[in-house]
Structures are given as C-alpha cells and as structure tokens.
Amino acid sequence: MTTPLQTPGTDGAAYALRAARPEDAEAIEALDGSFTTTSVFRVAVTADGFALREVPVDPPLTKVFPEDDGSGGADGEDGEEEDGEEDGDHTVVAVGADGGLAGFVTVSYNPWNRRLTIEDIEVAPEHRGRGVGRALMGRARDVARERGAGHVWLEVTNVNAPAVHAYRRMGFAFCGLDTTLYQGTESEGEHALYMSAPCP
C-alpha cells in the first residue's frame, strides 16, 4: 500500500510511504545517513546510574557510518527487508515526487515482551526537516499497534544529538545505556543510548 504524505510548511515537496520492494535495496544501502552536529551528549556513569549532559563541540562533529557496521539500531545501516515474515524485519520507504528514495525505517517485533524495535531509520540529507522522519516513525508506530506492541524501542549513539532531540519530540524517553556496545568498532568511545515510547 502506498500512502501519500504531504509535508506542510516546506517547499511543497510531496512524498509517498510504501513497503520496501526488492528493487529498493540498492538505494537503501546507498542512502547517506551521515550527520553533522554542534553538540553531543556527555555520559557520566556513577554507582547509582548515569547522567547525560549536552555539551557544544567546536568545530562541529560530522559522523559518517561505515558501509556495514552491523550495529543495527536507529543509527545503523541495516536496510535488509523481509516483508513476508510475521515477526521479522519490515521496511517502509519514503519516496519523493521524483521517484527517488527520501528515507526509510526498518522495524522488528519481539512477541515475548511486545517490543517493536526501530532497527534503523534514516532520511537523506536533502530531505531532512520536511517531516519525512516523523512520518516514517508514525508508520513504525502503526506497525507496532497492528502487532500489539506495548512500546517502541531504539538505540542511538550519544554523539547524535540531532536524532536524540527529534526522538524526544516524538515522545521517546531515555531508558538505558550501554558503554560497551561500540567497543572494537569504528564508533569506539561512543556510548549507546536506549530510548522508548509507549504504544497504547
């Protein structure tokens, strides 16, 4: 099913959301998921938990994800689509008026704890700020409701402050930390932040 998406307050660009097709795989893999930020979240771990503090970075930090870092999560590059599986990965793409890929979201559902996981969500740089990410997250929440999920969960690196702010605006809150997830990877030194949002 293809759903038209109007993005008010932008330059009038229109997008359509639909389930990913096999022929989308190359465009999904090639999508530029990099970002530039002028702030990051510093993580302070104590015996009683952890605290986050947003701090400016100068010069701005640009993060380019490896072609396939295998990290999954909302920062990863996993774009594989297994649309036919009941509880497997499901990918939705946003397509611009020109037919090009504007973004995608990949989700999976775990019945045992009723968790819908955002495995990956990316919007191409030239389409950011137009409501595409919010629309993709809305479609992910639709999938969550269809499958009876109790909550939606994702992982994001502490240096991706723009994504953290976007997720918070969408109703996500911090629910955990992993200081070791990226050890031995190109993201060594970063920390994984976990966020969740209820799905009534």
Tell me the percentage of the chain whose pLDDT exceeds 70: 84
The mean per-residue pLDDT over the stretch 76-82 comes to 38
Cα-Cα-Cα-Cα dihedral sign, residues 194, 171, 19, 76: negative
Backbone φ/ψ region at 99: left (φ over 0), alpha (ψ -120 to 50), beta: left
Residue 141: pLDDT above 80?
yes
The pLDDT mean for the chain works out to 88
What's the burial of 2, exposed, middle or buried (CB within 10 Å: 0-12/13-18/19+)? exposed
Alpha-carbon distance values, 161 to 27, 56, 165, 182 (Å): 26, 10, 6, 17
Residue 86: pLDDT above 80?
no
Q: Which of the pair, 159 or 67, is modelled with greater confidence?
A: 159
Phi, then psi, of 7 in degrees rounded to 5: -120, 90
- Reported as a pLDDT band with limits 50, 70 and 90, residue 6 is low
pLDDT value, residue 81: 37
- Reported as a pLDDT band with limits 50, 70 and 90, residue 66 is confident
Phi, then psi, of 185 in degrees rounded to 5: -120, 180
Alpha-carbon distance values, 166 to 12, 131, 171, 172 (Å): 22, 11, 9, 9
- Reported as a pLDDT band with limits 50, 70 and 90, residue 1 is low
CA distance 107 to 73: 9
* Weakest-pLDDT range from 15-24, 39-48, 83-92, 103-112: 83-92
Residue-wise pLDDT for 22-32, tens only, equals 999 999 999 99
CA distance 192 to 139: 24
For residues 31 and 56, the answer to whether their CB atoms sit within 8 Å is: no
Residue 191: pLDDT above 60?
yes
Please give the torsion angle defined by the CA atoms of residues 75, 40, 66 and 121, in that order, rounded to the nearest 10 degrees. Answer: 20
Residue 199: pLDDT above 80?
yes
DSSP letter at 152 equals: E
